[in-house]
A and B are shown apart, each in its own frame.
Chain A
């Protein structure tokens, strides 16, 4: 007689069935611990669904009210000191919480379902906060009154208001039209790289930095009572800056101690489960230790890092999460799991899974353009793993593997992992990368490390040892977390909607969507008699768009210490602790700027179509083309289809169109060295899209690639248009490999969709590995995969509740499929599924 099936056997049987059907999200749910499952499901998702916040998500008013109260009280202080006191007041008084089962703590709002609100960033965003339906706590009238009062106080005083007042009026109007780019030129909303090499190497924590600051203040004060001379004059301001840094570090320690105290109160007064009580006491001990002192174990190391990130988010609306968790936490993992055996591998995995869940929970209020452009997430929390050490040796460790295994258990869409591939990566690690992608996470993406290290040296002159430490500053741009390499603020407003370049070249600089003369008048395209005239116009429009955006950002960056200021970010940056300058000051920053080039490939396919069908084949005239474009192709469907199907398209290893890509990129690269950042360094371009291809669908006019106003734009930075890559995956790689990934730009996003059926089993792994080898050998800097079948995606569209953990790669980030708009969903389904082998 057969033995009765145990519960465990039944679960294993179910898992097997799900594996056969490749339903990985249900397997994850069954494989993760009960604790992790609770925490995963407890998250209030802050990423907007399409462009709207989920029901129950509310705007936090505690943080902005506390901040504003203290800000008002210290109106005579210089800005950095004033901000430090206000931030400290928030950290001392904002309500805190500890979720049941949690072992890591910290959040940027006052309650789990709240969105933090950066009230001093931009009045224009504050107005959106007031008008956004559904996000105001009950009683709503009272909440709205508070929002209105805060808005009234900050109107005209926010960082952006101040920048806007001194920006050239024409630049301001064109920038604010929303047609050519997005973002806000202030560190209130920046992507700040952090100086991990200063505060996260185990050599120092907050108390040590305070000691360094005290010593600097003492030295400076001695000088200020010494021999008079010009050298002591800057010290008066710097002493106040140091005081500001010290205030926020001390407040950060008190903030952590508040969590320690709450954990002890709960353990000693409310908790009856001895195991949970022990966990809470460990939380207390951890928060009493970090960030004041250096971590001693994995939990303290993760908590330290998390506190740094959370405090930075109390200071500014950080749009990204530059980090390299395996490199900085790996030694603690090794100590705890392998050397001292303080915790088991499973316990470590559980902790790392929670680290990802805590990060997933983080979110602040963003304007609608940002929500539409980053559907499903609240910022690009891209964590960098793998890569090499400064001496060039392999940096992968057990934590690298644990992060990927934890990612498969918790299946969060934020953070995502970005893997720095190099030739010495072990097969064991490659299999983990493959498994994550095969299980449909859409991450880790692969970054070609030797290429990107060379790229960092080429564009910004980072020394090789520093370049080898790089981490993604946002989605894709490498930045060394070092004293001079760390770029403290990268403002998203150097993000160009590049499809406008060809649009303006065809319409004499006029924008028919916003009805404004935007770019320079480069000539009536109806009268162009050869392709060179069009190309020349394209170059001029490209230069104009890049110049306009970069001027704005440079100004914002230069004035930021005066208009906003970052005392906490300064306090964890070696340059600032040493100099007493706000870290946002360009002094001592080597420069690591880049222009994010959205909707770039439309230019190539459009130029190729005009060259082929108008100037080479003479099938149509420029006059006919412009007339059709002005009519949004309406009444010209046959002609439109000819421009779609009858013209060569990027991504098919066709030199006709690929040469146009190279010509365009060379022009961009040339101009990238003409325009300079505030440190005097270059502005290379970085073609990618996040979900800007959907956001800009109604802003980019009809184009010669056959696209109509309203149609989704292409999804990647150098990905072919969906369905237009007809010649298979190798042809796509060959086209992309014609680009010089070191000298043509900063990085180039390539999306590829692969068949889950083909990737099954060992054969699937070998096929994928061979494909990755080809990719690496060809010197392409980036690739990311979607491995989810159409069948699953259609099922998720029909029954979103049932498929809530299905993840797709959108662009430089991943999102849960059910959280993105229908248009974005359809755009992903339309991408060509490439067959390998």
Chain B
């Protein structure tokens, strides 16, 4: 079972490695941006369509 910590989009927090962010680049019809969503490193990523192994 892949977990978030194995993904290239996952960035652990230096001050608390038990948490981190899923950081992704998005290009929508008007603008491009980077977004961050808090996730835990052990979160199941089996169904995540953005998962990319490190």
Contacts and interface: CB of A to CB of B under 8 A. Distances in A.
Contact of B26 (A43, A96, A97, A258): A97
Given A262-B21, A265-B11, A112 B33 contact: yes
A98 B37 contact: no
A270 B11 CA distance: 13
Given A261-B13, A266-B23, A96 B35 contact: yes
A60 to B, nearest CB: 13
B14 to A, nearest CB: 9
A42 B31 contact: yes
A92 interface: yes
Interface in B8-52: 11, 13, 21, 23, 25-26, 28-38
Contacts of B36: 95-97, 258, 261-262, 265
A113 B13 CA distance: 28
A390 interface: no
A571 to B, nearest CB: 23
Interface residues of B, number: 17
Contacts of A270: 25, 34
A44 interface: yes
A624 interface: no
A24 to B, nearest CB: 23
A74 interface: no
A727 interface: no
B34 A97 contact: yes
B35 A113 contact: no
Contacts of B23: 262, 265-266, 269
A272 to B, nearest CB: 13
Contact residues of A: prevailing secondary structure: mixed
Nearest to B14: A261
A131 interface: no
B11 to A, nearest CB: 5
Interface in A1-49: 38, 41-44
A112 B21 contact: no
A111 interface: yes
Nearest to B38: A93
A402 B21 CA distance: 38
B50 to A, nearest CB: 13
Nearest to B37: A95
A100 interface: yes
A88 to B, nearest CB: 13
Contact of B30 (A43, A95, A266, A269): A43
A56 interface: yes
A99 interface: yes
Contact of B35 (A43, A111, A269): A111
A261 B19 CA distance: 13
Nearest to A39: B31
A266 B38 contact: no
Contacts of A262: 21, 23, 34, 36
Interface centre among B30, B31, B35 (most CB of A within 10 A): B31
A113 B30 contact: yes
Contacts of B35: 95-97, 111
Contacts of B11: 265, 269
Interface in A794-815: none
A753 B53 CA distance: 62
A99 B38 contact: no
A99 B29 CA distance: 13
A661 to B, nearest CB: 47
Nearest to B13: A261
A266 B21 contact: no
A266 B29 CA distance: 21
A41 B34 CA distance: 17
A460 B13 CA distance: 51
B31 to A, nearest CB: 3
B20 to A, nearest CB: 10
A290 B10 CA distance: 26
A36 B12 CA distance: 33
A193 to B, nearest CB: 32
11 contacts: A56-B29, A56-B30, A96-B35, A96-B36, A97-B33, A99-B32, A99-B33, A113-B30, A261-B21, A269-B23, A270-B34
Interface of B: 11, 13, 21, 23, 25-26, 28-38
Given A95-B37, A262-B21, A266-B23, 20 more contacts: A38-B31, A42-B31, A43-B30, A44-B30, A95-B36, A96-B35, A97-B26, A97-B34, A97-B36, A99-B31, A99-B32, A99-B33, A112-B28, A258-B21, A258-B36, A258-B38, A262-B23, A265-B11, A265-B21, A265-B23
**10 nearest CB pairs, A to B:** A42-B31, A97-B35, A95-B37, A97-B33, A262-B36, A99-B33, A100-B32, A266-B34, A42-B30, A265-B11
